[in-house]
């Protein structure tokens, strides 16, 4: 999620439900609320000092955005980390992110994006020097840059979809970094900003495509190393065994189940 304290973001007074929604969403993205964890309305109310109606409304919103699921007689729980979920994020980003290359930006927005790129570059250098805590701030600046681009899309609905996809991407990155041994590399957006400034739209579009594929390559490779069985729903005993393991659902088309032999 982008840094809500950034001076580059619009100001406003969010309503109580939005505040609760953002708090819970951040907890899911950061891993404070783990995949598959059951959520208690009472405990959330007590922890955040919120009313029951506000918490319930926030949870309903989070079901629509895909971070929480609700099941009859089972209550609320955090959406599991799954192969299908990752595949949907990758396909969604491939379809929509290229639209950012065509946004029309005023001169002051270029200055803001260049400032964000400079701050990210400084933090990246600090990270390379061994200051691991700087990577979190660098990613926030990158997210703010993407948010500025989304704000100028002439399609608010698509902008909202992109924000949701980026939130989910951050969640997968966080999960895979904790369960794996490698970090997702930071992306230098200065080349994109320069391409937009001089009107090289195709170069900007190619940058966006490569940024998306960088996430896809990292997520797919790290999933092979992670213990996804701990967060994916267990198959029901009454169903036949699946014919393909996780990697085929992301890296290639599903193979047909082998036929039973008599």
Tokens representing 262?
């008599």
**What per-residue confidence (pLDDT) applies to 71?**
82
261 pLDDT band (50/70/90 cuts)? very low
For the chain, list the strands marked E by DSSP.
38-39, 68-71, 75-78
DSSP string, 23-40: HHHHHHHHTSS-TT-EE-
**What per-residue confidence (pLDDT) applies to 240?**
42
**What per-residue confidence (pLDDT) applies to 58?**
96
Spatial distance between the Cα atoms of 85 and 69, rounded to a whole number of angstroms: 13
128 pLDDT band (50/70/90 cuts)? low
Section 240-247 average pLDDT? 38
9 pLDDT band (50/70/90 cuts)? very low
Q: Where are the domains of the chain?
A: 16-78, 83-225
Q: Among 48-52, 115-119, 120-124, 258-262, name the one with the lowest average pLDDT.
A: 258-262
CATH 1.20.120 fits 83-225, yes or no: yes
Q: What are the Cα distances from residue 226, in Å, to 42, 135, 177?
A: 33, 22, 9
| pLDDT for residue 246 is more than 50 | no
| Fold (CATH) for 16-78 | Arc Repressor Mutant, subunit A (1.10.10)
Sheet holding 75-78: strands in order across? Answer: 38-39, 75-78, 68-71
| pLDDT for residue 173 is more than 80 | yes
**What per-residue confidence (pLDDT) applies to 114?**
94
Nearest-CA neighbor of 57 among 77, 79, 41?
41
Section 77-89 average pLDDT? 95
Taking only the tens place, the pLDDT of each residue in 197-241 is 999 999 999 999 999 999 999 999 998 877 554 444 444 444 444
127 pLDDT band (50/70/90 cuts)? low
| pLDDT for residue 163 is more than 60 | yes
Spatial distance between the Cα atoms of 233 and 36, rounded to a whole number of angstroms: 8
**What per-residue confidence (pLDDT) applies to 123?**
83
27 close to 33: Cβ distance less than 8 angstroms: yes
Spatial distance between the Cα atoms of 50 and 201, rounded to a whole number of angstroms: 47
**CB neighbour list of residue 1: distance below 8 Å, 6 or more residues apart:** 22, 25, 26, 29, 143, 167, 170
| pLDDT for residue 182 is more than 70 | yes
**What per-residue confidence (pLDDT) applies to 77?**
95
Q: Among 26-30, 71-75, 191-195, 256-260, name the one with the lowest average pLDDT.
A: 256-260
Taking only the tens place, the pLDDT of each residue in 134-161 is 788 889 999 999 999 999 999 999 999 9
Section 184-194 average pLDDT? 92
139 close to 133: Cβ distance less than 8 angstroms: no
User: Which strand (E) or helix (H) includes residue 160?
Assistant: helix 156-179
260 pLDDT band (50/70/90 cuts)? very low
Considering the chain, what percentage of its residues have pLDDT values greater than 70? Answer: 78
Nearest-CA neighbor of 65 among 156, 219, 168, 170?
168
| pLDDT for residue 99 is more than 70 | yes
């Amino acid at each position: 999620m982008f840094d809500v304290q950034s001076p580059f973001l619009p100001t406003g007074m969010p309503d109580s439900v939005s505040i609760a929604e953002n708090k819970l969403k951040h907890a899911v993205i950061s891993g404070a609320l783990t995949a598959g964890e059951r959520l208690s309305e009472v405990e959330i109310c007590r922890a955040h000092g919120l009313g029951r109606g506000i918490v319930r409304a926030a949870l309903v919103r989070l079901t629509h955005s895909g971070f929480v699921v609700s099941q009859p007689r089972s209550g609320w729980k955090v959406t599991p980390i799954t192969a299908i979920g990752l595949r949907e994020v990758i396909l969604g980003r491939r379809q929509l992110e290229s639209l950012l290359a065509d946004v029309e930006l005023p001169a002051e927005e270029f200055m803001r994006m260049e400032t964000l790129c400079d701050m990210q570059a400084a933090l990246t250098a600090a990270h390379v020097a061994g200051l691991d805590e700087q990577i979190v701030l660098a990613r926030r600046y990158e997210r703010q840059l993407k948010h500025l681009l989304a704000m100028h899309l002439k399609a608010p609905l698509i902008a909202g979809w992109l924000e949701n996809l980026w939130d989910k991407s951050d969640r997968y990155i966080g999960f895979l970094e904790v369960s794996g041994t490698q970090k997702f590399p930071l992306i230098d957006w200065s080349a994109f900003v320069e391409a937009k400034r001089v009107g090289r739209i195709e170069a900007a579009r190619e940058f966006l495509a490569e940024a998306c594929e960088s996430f896809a390559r990292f997520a797919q490779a790290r999933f092979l190393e992670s213990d996804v069985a701990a967060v994916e729903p267990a198959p029901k005993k009454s169903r036949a065994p699946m014919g393909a393991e996780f990697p085929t659902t992301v890296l290639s088309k599903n193979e047909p189940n082998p036929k039973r032999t008599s």
